[in-house]
Amino acid sequence: MKKIYSFLSLFIIALLGFSQSIGIYNKSGVSIIDDTITINHQLDTVNPLPYIEEKDFADVVNESSGTMEIKVARHEVQIIQGTSDYLCWGATCFAAQNAGTNPVWFPDDKSVVNAGDTAGKAFGTYPLQVYFVPNNNVGTVVYRYEFYDANNPSNSSSVYIKYNIEYLPAFGLFDQFGNSLIDETLTFWVPLDTVNPLPYYEYKDFVSIVNQSGTSKTIKVARHEESIIQGTSDYLCWGATCFAAQTAGSNPVWLPNDELVVQSGDTAGKAPGTYNLQIYFVANNKVGEAVYRYEFYDANNAQESSSIKIKHSITYLSSNHEIKNQGFEFSLFPNPASTHSFVKLDGNLEGYDLEILVHNILGQEQDRITVQNYQERIKLNHEDLKPGVYFVSVVNNGEYIDSKRLVVR
């Protein structure tokens, strides 16, 4: 019996000795002990950042019943040669460590934390702040940060940081507010009027193509059909040329024979006599959805490329004509707008089931408002919208009547 009690006593003491009393939490209060925080970074070799900084990503909490002196150890799990890292902890920001020279680094400072408190809250002290210096190198780096009791190192908790470093694409694609459009799909809605059809639908100035490489580039464009509407056609302008229309299905991968020489840091189509991408869609009274991918590539290295997709959503139903024959008019103001804008509806709207829809340029619905009978002026609030381009549409019983482009600043 004494042996059993002795064994239990030793087991309990062992549990107490190895119990974790250092908590690590994210800003939402969720434990991140032994979790990996992944940081993706695109390396701009033309205007590189001196370092990648991460701070306030982890709260280190003394969960014991007494004051604790907490130290940190940085373990290299995976490195990129030629890079370095450093950190701030306690009252000190330490010098950078070159990758591979100090696999297990023990910065010589500590944070004195009272029971229940968080490290770095005392005046003149830092929570963990980490810095990674790529030095124009790419790859994956993993560090483990271990927080331990200076008086009982077995009492410790860890969190991992992974850096995925890749080169910035040679060609950046941006909207007018600087948001990246690479691999995004922009949706353009068109309510087709077959009584008074437009000869084509024109889209220009919706994307800026920027040479983000460190050298001059000769940029060409390829238009890929991803889905088509039979009987329609499309054409484009690029370089110094506006090209002839291509009938849907006749040229699935179209390589217009022109190019733009763009210097490092410059935008395509800014030189006199040249076009940025301008696209045209000819519906020919057809409805449906057509998706085209526009790929911008280096004429001397086609592997360097960036793409954007355009979806043409063409709808028509005869009831739309009925509304328009009632003298329907749709205006949107102010435009551009900041906090709000107004939709003004004119005409005999009695008996129609109207809604106002707001979509972003990716086709995601942002707002939906039901129009009450005789309501001619509808306020749209934009407080929750990011700066960018949106589409405001009037819909009757689910059928698009008209759409207008809205710019939110």
Cα(first)–Cα(last) distance of the chain, in Å?
A: 78
Last residue of a domain, one of 143, 167, 191: 167
Please tell me whether residues 380 and 400 are part of one structural domain: yes
In a domain, 2, yes or no: no
Query: For residue range 331-352, what is the model confidence (pLDDT) as tens digits?
Result: 999 999 999 999 998 876 666 7
In a domain, 4, yes or no: no
Half-sphere exposure of 179 (CA within 13 A, CB side): 17
Residue with tokens 């689910």: 398
Q: What pLDDT score does 330 carry?
A: 86
Residue 57 lies in a domain: yes
**Is pLDDT of 11 > 80?**
no
CATH for 87: 2.60.40.10
| Residue-wise pLDDT tens digits, 293-326 | 999 999 999 999 999 999 999 886 545 555 555 6
- The average pLDDT across 63-84 equals 97
- Both 193 and 310 in one domain: the answer is yes
Same domain? For 204 and 146 the reply is no
Residues 297 and 179 occupy one common structural domain: yes
pLDDT of residue 48: 85
- 67 is a domain residue: yes
Residues 52 and 156 in one domain: yes
Is 1 inside any structural domain? no
pLDDT level of residue 329 (50, 70, 90 thresholds): confident
pTM value > 0.85: no
Same domain, 257 and 176: yes
> What tens digit of pLDDT does each residue of 255-282 get?
999 999 999 999 999 999 999 999 999 9
Q: Where are the alpha helices (DSSP H) in 125-244?
A: none
Checking if the pLDDT of 12 tops 50, the result is no
Greater model confidence, 40 or 19? 40
Among residues 315, 337, 365, the one where a domain terminates is: 315
Q: Are 69 and 21 in contact (CB under 8 A)?
A: no
**Which CATH number goes with the domain that contains 304?**
2.60.40.3880
The CATH number for 339's domain is: 2.60.40.1930
Same domain, 217 and 359: no
Number of domains in the chain: 3
Domain co-membership, 159 together with 20: yes
Residue 77: which domain range?
A: 15-167
Are 256 and 389 contained in the same domain?
no
User: In this structure, are 113 and 223 located in the same domain?
Assistant: no
pLDDT for position 327 = 62
Domain boundary among 315, 336, 365: 315
Nearest alpha-carbon partner for 218 in 279, 278, 280, 271: 271
Query: What was the pLDDT predicted at 5?
Result: 43
Q: Is 321 helix (H, G, I), strand (E, B) or coil?
A: helix
Q: Is residue 294 part of a domain?
A: yes
Question: 169: cis peptide before it, omega within 30°?
Answer: no
Same domain, 181 and 141: no
DSSP string, 243-287: PPPEETTS-SEE--S--EEE-TT-BTT-STT-EEEEEEEE-TT--
Q: What is the pLDDT of residue 352?
A: 75
User: Is 109 among the domain residues?
Assistant: yes
260 falls within a domain: yes
Co-location of 254 and 347 in the same domain: no
